[in-house]
Amino acid sequence: MKRLYLYRHAKSSWSDPDLADYDRPLSKRGKHNAELMANLLAKEKFDPDLILCSGAKRTRRTLKPLIRALDFSKKRIVYTDTVYEAGLDDLLETIGAVSDKVDTLLLVAHNPSLNELLDHLLKDHTIENIVTGGFVELELEIGHWSDIAGAHRKGKLVRFEYPKKHYDEHAPL
């Protein structure tokens, strides 16, 4: 059995329309939400064996507070552009190449790719959209990451966390 975590980047800024999509930073709310999610996961002693993260600025900035909160070794982080603007097959190929020594994998990436992957893996489709800053935990009935392409509908949803679910109704956004 393998465990896969999907983490969509937090809300990005559109304040500079001339900025390339790859270089868009997080918005103020995005930074707040990335911190919120990092604190939530740190309280749970979240500790994936490996992190695959898109090289885009907003994904790296979403991951940064989590790395800091977990004191996570940078040796277990791979930044890869294969998950930026990736289709389902690209994600399946990237994940399928992960070593079987890795039992728990965190993928920090973008939509619509993450939604497509979730649709492919989930037995019971219960999540319409992984919102910005959303975090999904899946159990996969596979013994090898290379089997993920054939894991159609073999994933079990463990949890779905997202920033708004944890807002204090009086906290400023």
Q: How far apart are CA 17 and CA 13, in angstroms?
A: 9
Task: Round the CA-based radius of gyration of the chain to a whole number and report it.
Answer: 15
Q: What is the pTM of this model?
A: 0.94
Q: 79 in a domain, yes or no? A: yes
Number of structural domains in the chain? 1
Q: Is residue 17 part of a domain?
A: no
SS3 state of residue 67: helix
| Confidence (pLDDT) at 106 | 98
In sign, the C-alpha dihedral spanning 115, 42, 54, 173 is: positive
Determine the 3-state secondary structure of 146 from DSSP. helix
128 found inside a domain: yes
Q: Which domain holds residue 138?
A: 2-12+25-166
Q: Which pLDDT score, from 0 to 100, does residue 168 have?
A: 66
Q: How far apart are CA 49 and CA 103, in angstroms?
A: 7
Contact 7, 134 (CB under 8 A): yes
Q: What pLDDT is recorded for position 18?
A: 93
Number of Cβ within a 10 Å radius of residue 108: 25
Specify the CATH number for the domain of residue 64.
Answer: 3.40.50.1240
Q: Is residue 110 part of a domain?
A: yes
Inter-residue contact 139 to 39 (CB < 8 Å): no
Instruction: Output the pLDDT for position 25.
Output: 97
Strands 155-161 and 77-80: unpaired
Cα dihedral across residues 12, 66, 148, 3: positive or negative:
negative
**pLDDT, position 171:** 53
Contact 158, 137 (CB under 8 A): yes
Q: What is the mean pLDDT of each run of 10 residues along the chain (173 residues)?
A: 97 94 96 96 94 98 96 93 96 97 98 96 86 97 95 92 79 52
